[in-house]
Amino acid sequence: MPSKKIATLALAGTVTVTCLATIGAAHAQSSGAAQPSQARQAPAGYQIVKLPNANVPNFQRRTVYCPSGKQVIGGGAEAQGNDAILVGSFPTDDGRGWIGLGRQKAYSSVGISVYAICAS
């Protein structure tokens, strides 16, 4: 029986060492990812344009445009109200602005604000 006990202890020791090595390797990899990265610069002419909240009929589009000479590179919208649901948030077909629309289940109007991220 002593050989079975020794084999069991050896196996347990091997499993423990393997687990500790795996944890150590994972920690080393994750701490490497925490290194500070170089700061990214904003694109030339970067600007956020906001169309403030206004109540509009359900499903009515609200559109905000970038200033002249700039294109939209992103955007978003927010639906505000007790039952507000944002139905759509997408760029204009010409790439110069952003559209937002929404609705409320129990009301005929909804508050919509729209944001466009613009660059030269």
pLDDT digits (tens, 9 = 90+) for 60-112: 999 999 999 999 999 999 999 999 999 999 999 999 999 999 999 999 999 99
56 in the same domain as 109: yes
| Predicted pLDDT of residue 87 | 98
Q: What mean pLDDT, rounded, does the chain reach?
A: 80
Cβ–Cβ < 8 Å for 71, 96? yes
Confidence of residue 19 (pLDDT cuts 50, 70, 90): very low
Let me know if residue 24 belongs to a domain.
Answer: yes
Dump the DSSP string for 46-106.
-EEEEEEEEEEETT--EEEEPPTT-EEEEEEEEEESTTEEEEEEEE-TTSSEEEEEEEESS
56 in the same domain as 107: yes
54 in the same domain as 30: no
User: Model-level pTM greater than 0.75?
Assistant: no
